[in-house]
Amino acid sequence: MDLRAKLHSLGQLSQENLLQAQERQQRLYNRGSKLRQFSPGDKVLVLLPTSSSKSLAKWQGPFVVTRRVGDVDYELVRSDRGGATQIYHVNLLKTWREVASASLATTVIER
């Protein structure tokens, strides 16, 4: 009976320690994350494997968001695949920012 009581108390203690460790890991993980949401019509970049190696990935796009599928999934129109749609997790997406074109002007001073 004494052994059974000790095992029960040790099981409870290990469960409490496990919950504390999970909460700490969640805090550390969420500290660097940002909540991102996209609307239909937004342009995004997608982190996709390169054609030369599946283990290497690069940002490709921009692609247009057509709809939000779930809490963290979005459907995109793949312009590189003839307008086919595909669903991606928000962790693979980032906002596309249009770059304003800058023109360099030179002035010539005649003397």
State pLDDT tens for residues 50-68: 888 888 999 998 999 999 9
DSSP-based three-state secondary structure for 53: coil
pLDDT at 102: 67
- What single-letter DSSP state applies at residue 63? E
Show the DSSP H helices in 1-111 as ranges: 2-31
pLDDT digits (tens, 9 = 90+) for 101-111: 766 667 777 76
Domain ranges of the chain: 1-33, 43-95
- The answer to whether 47 touches 58, Cβ cutoff 8 Å, is yes
Q: In this structure, are residues 77 and 83 in contact, taking their beta carbons and an 8 Å threshold?
A: yes
Q: Side chain identity at 44, as an amino acid letter?
A: V
CATH topology of domain 43-95: SH3 type barrels. (2.30.30)
Q: What strand order describes the sheet that includes 84-89?
A: 84-89, 73-78, 57-68, 43-49, 93-95
